[in-house]
């Protein structure tokens, strides 16, 4: 037991000896790292097997690029990250080794002493954590990890190159292409270590794919395929290669790449899509052969679920041959035979809708677009155009359908009875046939589902989990949060019920009317027999009416269609009203929203010529004038002005067109009106009300339909109120609500009107509508202000640091990334949460987790010194506020009011000089004199689990002074366990100059460190800072020692111009170029030039010795057997632990 206890104590991370390095690397590798790597592999396999690619687009190189697959394997990746963090805390060695001052330093020795991490295996732990974060989809955290890792191993090119490659990948997958380009450019400027070349092949291939430089991506992708060891992933990469070759027009190369996909024996879905892609790339030369091949695939039972893709490929071949009719027919056939609501079906419908759009069949285009928009991803290229077209068609099609329907009904009314009945029967037969096909399709789908549930599926090569509607993985979100499901629900509702108005009791066909009191009085005066006879007659009449109604509501009966045909003059007049309204609205939409002037002219000209009694004929003349003006036909346009003057002299459209400023307003009216409103608003703020009223009059004359008309009315009303005309203000507010009900100002004007109606008095006053910092939502009355909550000036409570900004004034995503990276790299022992809150006119980014005001202020001072953060802040306001006062900000108090409160109560406070943010939330210390050494294996694990190691390089302000126990300020004290190498050999009773001596158990007082110096008054002045790990700060490396130096100073970054390899394994053997085979280690090595003796050079395992050992000359050297053992134990290219396959 005693030996075990001495072994654990002797192998503490506070000591840097060959024994401690071996112990911690061994434990990190075969304990925490092993468990984390197993979890990482399980998570990678889960993500790989559950990934669903969208083969209609360029598939991503990494499966994490599919957003629907990012949640796969999350639990395993979390476990891998947890194990990596534990390994880093328990086994990180930051202490520099003790160096023999009499030994001459070589360049490799300088590099060794300049390292920031001395555990030779821990770089793989960092790599495991970063990769797990990357494949988990947390690219911000992965970028922070690899960025920190690159700085930690910046003197070791092999590890540094790998970390920078993964940093660039994290930027690429997060769409930070500018940052990724910067990393790639800087790395290409330097030489990339041959061991990191493999990672850079993946990185450059991924980068050029994201930037759509496919010609540059293909050579690197071919190298990636050679590196790939997983069969399924290699098949995906071959498919990706085929897509890139096809995008460049290289059909033959693409066909070969797809053929290699099939040879990999991938899952059937991938194989099927490869075969489909083969037919498309070779369709130009062998169209007939490819169509025959696809038709054979359509007959196969294995492809029943993919018939939409088969017919989509056939349609594409016909479309390439310019046979549009056959292409549309196959697209429609694929739509009917589709059994899945998948992305592939959405792509088919999008293509079909585009064809109908080009042919101006807007009814069919609206049907296809309306269904496709619910199946495609919002981030798909072209989705915005699809959404815009779908919205316009949803507005247009009801009018065009109404016109077409009424024209058809009026035509049927003019037919004889025989022809009319024959036409109706043809419609009924087509409806029955369509319903029968739909019924058969649903029955077939139900049978297939039953077979799948019973395990009787014919395809055993592909195992697929059941997918929810839309082909997306179930995420547990509410139904109405899924836009795809909502769109599908709307379509299904319209198929069942048609277009219904959003009113109560919409499902009732006939509304019932409650009888009046007179009816009850008449019934009361009748006898029982009379009442019974009347009730019986009404029952018979109701039954006959129900039979008639049922026939009129059944589309399978003639009565259903006969009831809609206009036979009487009243019915024809009602039908004509529907036609007139449809022609006018469709003509305006064609002109303004579709820019289809011929169709607009056709609709409006028919309206003017066939229906001269239309009530809005002046509007029709106005739009026809604009239409012919855009077509460059001024004579025809002037004729419509003459018609307006003759028929509608008092119309507002006549006044607009006859305005002498009409031409100027058409060209520059928007800018003139904006300038006029800006001048009016400035005059209102300066109390120049006469000028305000003059501008209002000018606006009413020049821009009666301007975009700022509501604002002019609101400003005019407030001006009247401030000048004492409350009635005029109220009249303007009512006019604003009536004419501009959709304006944001209408709500505020309505509140003013309602307040006056409730008996409140209007009071004038000035306020700035554009000043969001003076805005608050709650306006207190005189009685409410007595009981209003006030701001608290308590400093010892939880505080929040906020960055408040106006929307669109900064890039919140980049600012969030910089904050997260700064917190991750600067505060290891503290965890700060970052939330973004949306407000009225302002948004804020909240950083919480501060226990008092002092911590929040220290954090703010440190943060505002970070150039990357300040660059992204822009015009954001930093705000420090307690959680108690936070609910009052923006509601009871504006930001300006809180700023005054902060300046008065918090700004004058003296802030603590301790580094509060470097302290852990809970510190467990052991009483002095009590050392409970672990005895059992479980106690040893508990001892290791409770070990705490802080990270390096905290970012703290340089002027911060930390007092010691007596309260007097001194230089920054070193943390527990810090040991700085003395320049001279220390004696037993004296403290050498330039040395910091800190007890490892009970650090209560420190003396000035090597970089400390005295000012003229004898007081200590701080010149550097101390890392959390106990190492001296960077400033200590720059200050001059008090004694003559006998060894070269340690540099912050030293890239030795020699072949390195000692940074990864214990010994100092040279790394091997990729073109050579690694030789066996020799037992002898040449002595360096200028050495006093010819003894072999000491390995890195003996570079740092214990303080109790003599440092003059080594008594013995390592043998070749020990060197070979260490090489095998910590081999850089260990395929399993390096996780190259994943």
pLDDT band at residue 761, thresholds of 50, 70 and 90? confident
Strand partners, 805: 843
pTM over 0.85: no
Q: Name the DSSP letter for residue 918.
A: G
* Interior angle at CA 160, CA 156 and CA 165, nearest 5: 160
Dump pLDDT digits (tens) for 426-436. Answer: 888 888 888 88
Specify the pLDDT at position 455.
58
For 554-568, b/e burial (b = at least 16 CB within 10 A) is eeeeeebbeebbbee
Question: With contact defined as beta carbons under 8 Å apart, do 93 and 13 qualify?
Answer: yes
In sign, the C-alpha dihedral spanning 272, 273, 274, 279 is positive
Angstrom distances, CA of residue 96 to CA of 105, 114, 993: 15, 8, 19
The whole-angstrom separation of Cα 50 and Cα 267 is: 11
Checking if the pLDDT of 1093 tops 70, the result is no
Q: Between residues 871 and 1052, which one has the greater pLDDT?
A: 871
Question: With contact defined as beta carbons under 8 Å apart, do 1033 and 1024 qualify?
Answer: yes
Q: Between residues 1054 and 557, which one has the greater pLDDT?
A: 557
Dump pLDDT digits (tens) for 671-697. Answer: 877 888 888 888 888 888 888 888 888
Q: Which of 561-575, 803-817, 1031-1045 has the lowest mean pLDDT?
A: 1031-1045
In sign, the C-alpha dihedral spanning 66, 72, 76, 78 is positive
Specify the pLDDT at position 777.
53
Dump pLDDT digits (tens) for 207-220. Answer: 999 999 999 999 99
Residues in the chain, overall count: 1142
Dump pLDDT digits (tens) for 54-108. Answer: 888 899 999 998 888 888 989 999 999 999 999 998 888 888 888 888 888 888 8
The whole-angstrom separation of Cα 988 and Cα 258 is: 76
Angstrom distances, CA of residue 882 to CA of 246, 796, 834, 915: 59, 9, 15, 20
- Percentage of the chain lying above the pLDDT 70 cut: 66
**Rounded mean pLDDT, 766-781:** 52
Specify the pLDDT at position 1027.
41
Checking if the pLDDT of 1035 tops 50, the result is no
Q: Between residues 986 and 746, which one has the greater pLDDT?
A: 746
Specify the pLDDT at position 708.
85
């Amino acid at each position: 037991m005693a030996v075990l206890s001495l072994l654990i104590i002797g192998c503490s991370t506070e000591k840097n000896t060959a024994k401690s390095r071996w112990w911690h690397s061994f434990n990190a590798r075969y304990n925490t790292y092993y468990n984390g790597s197993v979890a990482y592999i399980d998570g990678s396999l889960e993500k790989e097997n559950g990934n669903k690619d969208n083969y209609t687009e360029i598939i991503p190189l990494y499966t994490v690029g599919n957003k629907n697959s990012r949640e796969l394997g999350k639990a395993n990746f979390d476990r891998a990250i947890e194990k990596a963090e534990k390994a880093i805390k328990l086994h990180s060695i930051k202490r520099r080794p003790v160096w023999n001052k009499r030994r001459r330093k070589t360049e490799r020795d300088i590099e060794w002493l300049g390292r920031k991490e001395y555990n030779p295996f821990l770089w793989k732990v960092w790599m495991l954590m970063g990769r797990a974060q990357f494949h988990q989809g947390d690219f911000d955290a992965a970028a922070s990890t690899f960025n920190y890792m690159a700085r930690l191993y910046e003197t070791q090119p092999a590890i540094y190159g790998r970390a920078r490659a993964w940093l660039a990948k994290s930027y690429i997958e997060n769409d930070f292409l500018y940052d990724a380009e910067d990393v790639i450019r800087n790395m290409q400027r330097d030489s990339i270590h041959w061991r990191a070349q493999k990672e850079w092949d993946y990185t450059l291939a991924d980068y050029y794919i994201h930037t759509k430089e496919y010609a540059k991506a293909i050579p690197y992708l071919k190298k990636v395929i050679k590196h790939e060891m997983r069969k399924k992933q290699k098949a995906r990469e071959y498919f990706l290669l085929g897509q890139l070759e096809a995008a460049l027009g290289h059909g033959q190369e693409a066909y070969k790449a797809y053929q290699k996909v099939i040879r990999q024996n991938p899952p059937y879905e991938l194989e099927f899509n490869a075969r489909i892609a083969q037919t498309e790339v070779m369709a130009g030369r062998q169209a007939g052969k490819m169509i025959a091949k696809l038709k054979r695939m359509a007959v196969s039972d294995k492809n029943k679920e993919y018939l939409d893709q088969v017919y989509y490929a056939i349609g594409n071949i016909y479309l390439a041959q310019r046979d549009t009719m056959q292409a549309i027919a196959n697209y429609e056939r694929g739509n009917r035979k589709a059994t899945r609501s998948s992305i592939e079906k959405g792509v088919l419908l999008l293509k079909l809708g585009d064809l109908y759009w080009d042919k101006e069949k807007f009814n069919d285009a609206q049907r296809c677009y309306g269904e496709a928009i619910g199946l495609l991803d919002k981030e798909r290229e072209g989705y915005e155009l699809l959404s815009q077209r779908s919205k316009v068609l949803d507005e247009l099609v009801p009018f065009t359908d109404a016109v077409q329907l009424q024209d058809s009904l009026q035509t049927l009314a003019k037919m004889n009875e025989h022809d009319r009945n024959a036409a109706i029967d043809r419609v009924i037969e087509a409806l029955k046939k369509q319903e029968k096909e739909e019924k058969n399709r649903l029955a077939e789908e139900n049978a297939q589902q039953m077979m799948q549930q019973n395990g009787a599926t014919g395809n055993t090569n592909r195992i697929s989990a059941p997918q929810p509607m839309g082909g997306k993985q179930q995420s547990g979100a509410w139904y109405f949060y899924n836009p795809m499901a909502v769109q599908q629900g709307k379509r299904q509702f319209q198929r069942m019920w048609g277009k219904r108005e959003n009113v109560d009791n919409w499902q009732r066909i006939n509304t019932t009317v409650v009888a009046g009191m007179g009816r009850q009085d008449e019934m009361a005066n009748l006898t029982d027999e009379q009442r019974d006879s009347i009730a019986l007659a009404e029952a018979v009449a109701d039954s006959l009416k129900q039979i008639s109604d049922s026939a009129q509501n059944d589309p399978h009966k003639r009565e259903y269609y006969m009831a809609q045909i206009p036979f009487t003059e009243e019915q024809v007049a009602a039908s004509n009203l529907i036609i007139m309204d449809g022609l006018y609205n469709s003509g305006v939409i064609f002109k303004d929203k579709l820019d289809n002037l011929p169709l607009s002219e056709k609709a409006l000209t028919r309206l003017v010529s066939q229906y001269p009694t239309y009530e809005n004929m002046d509007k029709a003349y106005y739009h026809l004038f604009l239409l012919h003006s855009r077509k460059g036909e001024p004579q025809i346009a002037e004729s419509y002005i003459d018609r307006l003057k003759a028929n509608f002299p008092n119309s507002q459209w006549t006044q607009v067109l006859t305005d002498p400023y009409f031409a100027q307003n058409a060209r520059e009216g928007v800018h003139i009106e904006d300038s006029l409103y800006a001048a009016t608003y400035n005059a209102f703020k300066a109390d120049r009300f006469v000028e305000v009223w003059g501008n209002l009059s000018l606006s009413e004359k020049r821009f009666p339909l301007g975009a700022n008309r509501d604002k002019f009315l609101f400003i005019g009303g407030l001006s009247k109120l401030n000048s004492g005309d409350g009635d005029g203000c109220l009249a303007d507010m009512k006019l604003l609500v009536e004419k501009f009900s959709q304006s944001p100002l209408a709500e505020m004007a309505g509140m003013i009107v309602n307040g006056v109606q409730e008996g409140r008095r209007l009071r004038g006053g000035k306020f700035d509508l554009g000043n969001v910092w003076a805005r608050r939502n709650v306006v207190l009355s005189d009685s409410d202000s007595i009981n209003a909550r006030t701001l608290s000036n308590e400093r010892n409570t939880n505080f929040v640091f906020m960055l408040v900004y106006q929307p669109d004034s900064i890039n919140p995503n980049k600012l969030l990334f910089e904050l997260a990276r700064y917190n991750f790299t600067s505060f290891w022992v503290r965890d700060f949460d970052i939330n973004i809150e949306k407000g009225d006119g302002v948004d804020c980014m909240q950083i919480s987790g501060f226990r008092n005001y002092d911590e929040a202020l220290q954090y703010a001072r440190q943060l505002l010194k970070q150039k990357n953060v300040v660059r992204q802040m822009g015009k954001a306001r930093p705000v420090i506020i307690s959680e108690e006062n936070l609910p009052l900000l923006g509601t009871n108090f504006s930001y300006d009011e809180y700023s005054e409160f902060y300046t008065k109560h918090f700004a004058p406070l003296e802030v603590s000089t301790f580094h509060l943010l470097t302290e852990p939330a809970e510190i467990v210390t052991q009483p002095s004199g009590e050392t409970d050494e672990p005895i059992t294996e479980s106690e040893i694990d508990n001892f290791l689990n409770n070990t705490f190691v802080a990270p390096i390089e905290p970012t703290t302000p340089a002027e911060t002074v930390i007092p010691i126990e007596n309260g007097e300020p001194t230089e920054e004290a070193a943390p527990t366990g810090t040991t700085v190498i003395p320049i001279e050999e220390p004696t037993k009773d004296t403290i050498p100059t330039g040395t910091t001596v800190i007890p490892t158990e009970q650090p209560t007082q420190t003396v000035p460190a090597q970089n400390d110096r005295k000012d003229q008054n004898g007081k200590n002045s701080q010149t550097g800072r101390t890392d959390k790990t106990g190492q001296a700060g960077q400033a200590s490396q720059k200050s001059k020692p008090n004694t003559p130096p006998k060894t070269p100073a340690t540099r912050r970054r030293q890239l030795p111009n020699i072949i390195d390899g000692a940074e990864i394994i214990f010994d100092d053997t040279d790394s091997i170029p990729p073109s050579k085979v690694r030789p066996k280690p020799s037992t002898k090595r040449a002595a360096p030039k200028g050495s006093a003796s010819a003894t072999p050079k000491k390995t890195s395992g003996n570079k740092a010795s214990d303080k109790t050992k003599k440092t003059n000359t080594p008594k013995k050297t390592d043998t070749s057997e020990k060197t070979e053992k260490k090489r095998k134990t910590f081999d850089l290219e260990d395929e399993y632990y390096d996780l190259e396959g994943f």
